[in-house]
Structure 1
Amino acid sequence: MGESLLFSPLTLRELTFKNRLWVAPMAQYSATRAGVPTDWHLAHLGGMARGGAGLVMCEATAVLPEGRICLTDTGIWSDEQVEAFARINRFVVEQGSIPGIQLAHAGRKGSTQIPTVGRDALTSEEGGWQTVAPSAIAYHGLPAPAAMSVRQIADTVAAYAAAAARAVRAGFQVVEIHAAHGYLMNEFLSPLGNTRTDSYGGSFDNRTRLLHEVVAAIREVLPEGVPLFVRLSATDWAEGGWDIADTARLCRKLDGTGVDLIDVSSGGMVAHQKITVGPGYQVPFARAAREASSLPVAAVGLITEAVQAEQVLVDGAADAVMFGRQLLREPHWPFRAAVELKSEMRWPGPYRSARYRGSIP
């Protein structure tokens, strides 16, 4: 069999991914109330690794208790969480995959019910907390956050660095900063969430300052060989918000700062966004980000077919493809994709008797 681009290796720093078919971070809302991952995460992430993905990216994981979306988000602020993740990551590595973690702070979109239950804000009796954001602008249907002080911003930068150090101790080999989907980092970037008049608001350079500080703080504690990713919302899909030109400009600014890949998504900043959805609808954003700098990019967004994913790479729109819902539906889908693209994949020993023979029916 020939080698497709999707099943070719990719090296970033000292790390080589066996293929470019990667697991996107997907919130599971299944941790304990102490933010500790459970057996669900072992089965979920371990199953993705067993299925052959080159990178298994853990869900958005809070760097602080008040950085959670809801009470059952995973966290990485305690030793107990480190120990639980280490168990999971050992299994992921044993399957030949690379474990990654997305570090996050929910900002004004935190302190809500578990999304499978509802979207309302938690009451204090339910364990809710005062959310924070760059400015005291409420997200649709949620209470107004408190505008962060400069001291709180500095403490948050330190929390990201401490979380990254814990992530390495837990066995994660890739760290990603979540700066998309309307959460804290995205709130600082977007004029729709940031109306500050100090050094963290107003101009493009001021609104991107926090992200640069977090990148520098994390890079300071990461081993040289550990890649650092940044997930961006390429556009807010709303008038007056962050757009693809801003994303291209930011990619150029991040080039050379210690960031190794841009994970390109979009939306989530405001409820009145107007998104045009269709197969591969975010791939043009990935291409624009890739063309703006020398940084590699990953593409996401309704990519569900092997040939479709291969074409993204052949066309030069991205360097890797992240899959979400498709892998929830079929955690072992990479094996099917490999056959469709006439590529070899190593099956786990206990599953080899089930290998596909010839074409897929």
Structure 2
Amino acid sequence: MTIDIQKIRADFPALALTVHGKPLTFLDTAASAQKPKQVLDAMRYCYENEYANVHRGMYDLSEKATFNFENARKKVQKFINAASDKEIVFTRGATDSLNLVAYTWGAQNLRAGDEVLITQAEHHSNIVPWQILQKRIPFTLKVVPVLDDGELDMNAFKTLLSEKTKLVSVAHISNVLGTVFPIKEIAKLAHAAGAKILIDGCQGATHVPVDMQDIDCDFYAFSGHKLYGPTGIGILYGKRAVLEGMEPFEGGGDMIKTVAFSGSTWADIPARFEAGTPPIMQAIGLGFAIDYVQNIGMTNIAEHEKRLCKLLQDGVASVGGTTQIGTAPDKTGVVSFVTDFAHPQDIAMILDQQGVAVRTGHHCAQPLHERFGQSVSVRASLGVYNTEEDIENFVAALHKVKRFFT
């Protein structure tokens, strides 16, 4: 199915902006997506007409807010095909979700001599929490390498996987390489070895259809703001049996069943992991964002972005003196590169003068950049609203950058 790209673009107010007198060409969705007016308008309506704190309020506004909040949880459940809405934990973001797993499941289950496998392609949020936990528990963190094209070295993965492996924690799609990793195969291998699997889905659930029951992962984390929703909301999916065996991450209101000075008992999942006043409107806004992408169709979005990704790769390659980081066949959403004619920061500043927004830096993936002999790169990333014209504008501006420096 071909999507109506101009109709979609009209939904995003930010795309009508001009920057330095040029129409905005926004190519930084991997960092955070722009928001459609349907989400903005619906959130404003709820703030003005249906807002109060949720749970236990025996009055109309609170009951409406509670319904909307819990209905958003059901929308997430259906969006990722979880078996139950009890498996959906609202967090502050994907980083919070990954930390929750480390400091609950990890702290309870890892012991000296155990191993956790991650990959060279991980975001810092899937590296640093395990390093912090290592200061408390002397388990071993092992790293699966990536190949020169950005594919995961599956032979190395199979070699590193052993009876000592208690958890495999891996990105679904690399935020630098754009590589789509074979997470279903990885989950099957991990389970065969007796390990659990955690997937960082920040660039996954936002760009391709996902199905928790088909993937058969134990945990899956993603954020709302990269799915055209608000900031301050993330999702941790966890298999019900796994979540029910976990202790709370934080203490406070709403996560308890009883409290006494002699001791406290915990609420059932998912409330056990949602201490304090939750991100009410953020969760509701994420629900509206899910409505938006489902109206378009995630398969349609994935096909659109994959086609544009190839055009983006070809466009960067057409500018001599560029080297792309990540050229795997199964790739989407992201093209990162360096050049022999300018520093990434200088490139981004000049592109900005042409109205083109891209990201520069290490993209919270320093070890991955080091793997490819770089410290930083330029990253252009795609969303549902991008067009062939956006790519043409970007490539033309990149040619101008090259002419300026050479």
**Superposition TM-score tier, normalisation by shorter sequence:** under 0.3
Larger Rg, first or second structure (1 or 2): 2
TM-score (norm 1): 0.27
